[in-house]
């Protein structure tokens, strides 16, 4: 299978290691889907950024895009940007998004 766009959820995500999941089957599937997608998006709310709750990781090749909410810590967002990840911040509290 191949995909124009791949949208992946995550239990956690870091700029250094990618997507964190509870088991290796999930990370393997996400790695395969990302490899077969033309554009890759990771959808993770701000509470999941920078965490490492599990030991199964899916590393993603650049380019990919992190989509998160406006509650994200600006320092954490900068880590993703510095790693070459595109960052999109969605307003969820009402009102316009102000880029941190």
The CA distance from 84 to 62, in Å, is 7
Prediction pTM value? 0.88
Q: Is the pLDDT of residue 42 over 70?
A: yes
pLDDT of 96 reads 55
Average pLDDT on 39-62 reads 95
Q: Structurally, how many domains does the chain consist of?
A: 1
Q: Is the pLDDT of residue 91 over 90?
A: no
CB 47 within 8 A of CB 20: no
Q: Residue 94's pLDDT band (boundaries 50, 70, 90)?
A: low
Classify residue 8: in a domain, yes or no: yes
Range of the domain at 68: 3-90
22 Cβ contact partners less than 8 Å away, ≥ 6 residues apart: 11, 54, 56
Classify residue 14: in a domain, yes or no: yes
């Amino acid at each position: 299978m191949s995909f124009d766009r791949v949208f992946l959820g995550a239990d956690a995500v870091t700029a250094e290691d990618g997507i964190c999941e509870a088991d290796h089957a999930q990370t393997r599937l996400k790695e395969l889907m990302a490899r077969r997608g033309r554009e890759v998006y990771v959808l993770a709310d701000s509470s999941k950024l920078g965490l490492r709750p599990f030991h199964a990781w899916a590393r993603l090749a650049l380019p990919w895009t992190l989509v998160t909410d406006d509650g994200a810590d600006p320092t954490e967002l900068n880590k993703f940007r510095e790693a070459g990840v595109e960052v999109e911040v969605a307003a969820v509290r009402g009102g316009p998004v102000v880029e941190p």
